[in-house]
Amino acid sequence: MTSSSSSAVLVALLLVPLVGAIVVAALRGNDRLAKLVALGISIVEFALAIVSWAAYDAGGARLQQAFSMDWIPSFGVHLSFGVDGIALVMIAVIALLVPLVIGSSWLEKLPEGRSAGGFLGLILVEQALTIGVFAATDVFVFYVLFEIMLIPMYFLIGSYGGANRQYAAVKFFLYSFLGGMIMLASVIALYVQAGNALGKGTFDWATLVTVVHHAPLSTQIWLFLGFFAAFAIKAPLVPLHTWLPDAAAEAPIGVAVLIVGVLDKVGTFGFLRYCLPMFPDASRKLAPLVLVLAAAGVLYGSLLATGQRDMKRFIAYVSIAHFGFIALGIFSFSSQAMTGSVSYMINHSISTGMLIIVIGMVIARGGSTRIADYGGMAKLTPLLAGLFLLAGLSSLSLPGTNSFISEFLVLIGSYPNAPVYTIIATVGMILAALYILWLYQRVFTGPVRGDALMQFDGPGATIAPETGARRAIRDLTGREIGVLVPLVVLVIGLGLYPKPVLDVVTPTVNATMTSVGVGDPVTVQEGH
């Protein structure tokens, strides 16, 4: 076992939520205590993530805070973990989201017979596994965690979700599992490749990167496609996206945040960590294909979002459009676009996470996910309306918000190599304004209306004389404000000062570009 002092932080990041999950699951009799303990653990985890960030040296080694121990010696499998700039920021964003998810799920009505302990325990397990996926530096460990990660999520959707939850959970599982199986084929073939080249098989990522790119193009293409299939389902890219609207619609709000904010990013992370550096020739060869899917995804997701009647399905299609931007930035091969994609990954978690959370607050008040059941809500809940709008503006990448930085970097960086796809995606900016502002208009402006706000609810409910709405519709509570404030600060803070993120991400992106064997289309000019 090799380790350094800072690797202890990474070990703790992996173990704290796992141990915490066991404790929380044991508290199934006492919901309140289970929630408090889970929140406490998630806050400790967040503090650890900050320590890990502080210990990371942006100009240092490719993989830092690394440690490794034998797992299956006969196959050369090691339990090895470490972080680069991309994994670091992704782990930080997971650690940020989980306490907010717990806070926003505080009053979640779980189905009959389910306890908060079980629900939050599963969330913490999922957190540990996704951090493991981002931190794994052994391809076999990555694969195993990639698959195991499905199991808690399968139960989070299938046991705690809405009316159609079982269908959604199975669909989610089948899609992801199928992708995983295809990837397994490539993982095994990688091992064989390494064996041929080195005389001894290995799953060590850093070693594989130096070996596989010597393989002929046709081999690279098949191996690439194996990984790509799994990641494109996860991300998801059109036309492999149809599991996401069902999963997002049926999952509880907090779980939807994790699916869209964290789980999906494993796919785009996979492109960056596995597809590009391990199969550089195939990546360059197949990039046009991915760019087509990316640009199509931007338009398709945006148009579908404008046509949705259900708020949670709406979010899913918005995310599909955003994943189009991320894929565009990754496969157009410039450091600006790729850095933009990585920052898009975290900014999307922040702004779409915030949008899902505020939509959850709307749903918690009206009891319906149908857009048509609401109207004129700004009059009843001005603060909720304002924060909904801010989340929406961040989702449509308004300059001054975090998402602008990433979308701008993706587009300006993609333009030199992929002008046509960039222009198509830029047109997506107009559609983004349309779907966000139209949703806001329908739910929040005009006279108070809609069944969710106007109908009687039980014997005690009375009607407010001035608006005609149920009295029970109140503006944000202290808990809800507490959940949203960190997100508001990040939306504006990272919009005006994104340098801390860019400085960490850019060196890793540069290293990735080097391993793909491509240079920036636009280089520093003389006279700077």
**261-320: which residues touch another protein (CB under 8 A)?**
300, 303-304, 306-308
Cβ proximity to another protein: between 460 and 499 the closer is 499
Residue 300 CB, shortest distance to another protein, in Å, is 7
| Interface residue with another protein, options 92, 411, 504, 516 (CB under 8 A) | 411
Taking the C-alpha atoms of residue 525 and residue 425, their distance in angstroms, rounded to an integer, is: 27
Residue number with CB closer to another protein (29 or 163)? 163
Is 170 near another protein (CB under 8 A)? yes
Rounded Cα distance between 100 and 409, Å, is 28
Q: Is 520 an interacting residue with respect to another protein (CB under 8 A)? A: yes
Integer CA distances (angstroms), 94 to 165, 231, 266, 419, 454, in order:
24, 19, 11, 33, 38
Which of 40, 167, 296, 486 is the binder for another protein (CB under 8 A)?
167
198 touching another protein, by CB under 8 A: no
**Which stretch in 21-29, 114-122, 218-226, 285-293 sits in contact with another protein by CB under 8 A?**
218-226
Q: In whole angstroms, what is the distance from residue 237 CA to residue 319 CA?
A: 10
Stretch that binds another protein, among 75-83, 122-130, 197-205, 440-448 (CB under 8 A): 440-448
Residue 219 lies near another protein (rule: CB under 8 A): yes
Pick between residue 27 and residue 504 the one whose CB is nearest to another protein: 504
Size of the site for another protein (CB under 8 A): 84
Q: Is position 387 an interface residue for another protein (rule: CB under 8 A)?
A: no
Q: Does 252 bind another protein (CB under 8 A)?
A: no
DSSP 8-state symbol, 111? P
Give, as ranges, the residues between 330 and 359 that touch another protein (CB under 8 A).
Answer: 335-336, 339-340
- Asked if 427 is part of the footprint of another protein (rule: CB under 8 A), the reply reads yes
3 near another protein, rule: CB under 8 A: no
Q: Beta 77-83 vs 64-72: how paired, if at all?
A: antiparallel
Tell me how far, at minimum, the Cβ of 523 lies from another protein, in Å.
5
**Least spacing, CB of residue 166 vs another protein, in Å:** 6
> Of the ranges 34-42, 93-101, 123-131, 409-417, which one interacts with another protein (CB under 8 A)?
409-417
Q: Residue 65 in 3-state DSSP?
A: strand
43 contributes a contact to another protein by CB under 8 A: no
Residue 186 DSSP SS3: helix
Among 434, 451, 486, 511, binds another protein (CB under 8 A): 434
153 binds another protein (CB under 8 A): no
Q: At what angle are helices 217-234 and 165-198 packed, to 10 degrees? A: 160
Q: Using an 8 Å Cβ cutoff, are 484 and 357 in contact?
A: yes
Minimum CB distance to another protein smaller for 472 or for 481? 481
What 3-state DSSP class applies to 83?
A: strand
The number of helices, as runs of H, and strands, as runs of E, in the chain is 22, 2
Residues 464-503, interacting with another protein (CB under 8 A): 496-499, 502-503
| 108 residue type, one letter | E
Q: With binding defined as CB under 8 A, does residue 186 bind another protein?
A: yes
Q: Is 17 in the site for another protein (CB under 8 A)?
A: no
Structure tokens at 183: 């990837």
Q: At what angle do helices 335-366 and 478-496 cross, to 10 degrees?
A: 160
| Contact pick of 192, 289, 461, 464 for another protein (by CB under 8 A) | 192
Question: Which among 105, 477, 31, 92 has a CA at the least distance from the CA of 254?
Answer: 105
Compute the least distance from the CB of residue 449 to another protein, in Å.
Answer: 10
Asked if residue 226 binds another protein (CB under 8 A), the reply is yes
C-alpha to C-alpha distance for 67 and 379, rounded to whole angstroms: 55
- Cis-peptide, bond into residue 17, ω within 30° of zero: no
Give one DSSP letter per residue of 429-484, joined into a string: HHHHHHHHHHHHHHHHSSSS-SHHHHS--STT--B-TTT-SBTT-----HHHHHHH
Interface residue with another protein among 2, 4, 441, 477 (CB under 8 A) is 441
For the residues of 198-260, what is the DSSP string, one character each?
Answer: HSS---BHHHHHHHHTTS-HHHHHHHHHHHHHHHHHHTTPTTS-THHHHHHHHS-HHHHHHII
User: What CA–CA distance (Å, rounded) separates 149 from 139?
Assistant: 15
Q: What's the CA gap between 355 and 315, in Å, rounded?
A: 8
Quick one: 100 or 169, whose CB is closer to another protein? 169
How far apart (Å, rounded) are the C-alpha atoms in residues 397 and 392? 9
The distance of closest approach from Cβ of residue 222 to another protein in the complex, given in angstroms and rounded to an integer, is 5
| Type of residue numbered 250 | E
Is 155 a binding residue for another protein by CB under 8 A? The answer is no
CB nearer another protein, residue 32 or residue 309: 309
Which 355-384 positions form the footprint of another protein (CB under 8 A)?
376, 378-379, 383
In the list 367, 446, 482, 500, the residue contacting another protein (rule: CB under 8 A) is: 446
